[in-house]
Amino acid sequence: MNIGGLARQHQIHGVQPVLPVADVQEAASWFCRTLGFELDFLHGDPPVHGRVKLGDGSGGAPIHIHLSHRPSPMHGGAEIRLHVGHD
């Protein structure tokens, strides 16, 4: 696999960390209340996945953080998503 060739064929749109949390809704609320993020979405009832966003793209790419439910955050590893494509 030629990574350099792949990078030339697609645009990298950003990196989005996926954080394991015990309570997705509470974590999203904390990011919004404490750090000024906006709620992008919550999925599930109660939420098992969500995303918060900071910025609107006017000063560079927005920051997205995914929040993924883990009963014990210390036992679940964090992930990083690299978004690539033509658009």
Q: Tell me: the pLDDT tens digits for 68-82?
A: 998 775 655 666 666
Considering only CA atoms, give the Rg of the chain: 15
What's the token pair of residue 75?
């036992």
For the whole model, what pTM was predicted?
A: 0.73
Averaged pLDDT for residues 32-55: 95
- In this prediction, residue 37 carries a pLDDT of 93
**CA torsion, ordered 37, 83, 21, 58, to nearest 10 deg:** 0
CB count, 10 Å around CB of 47? Answer: 19
| 21 bridge partner residues | 69
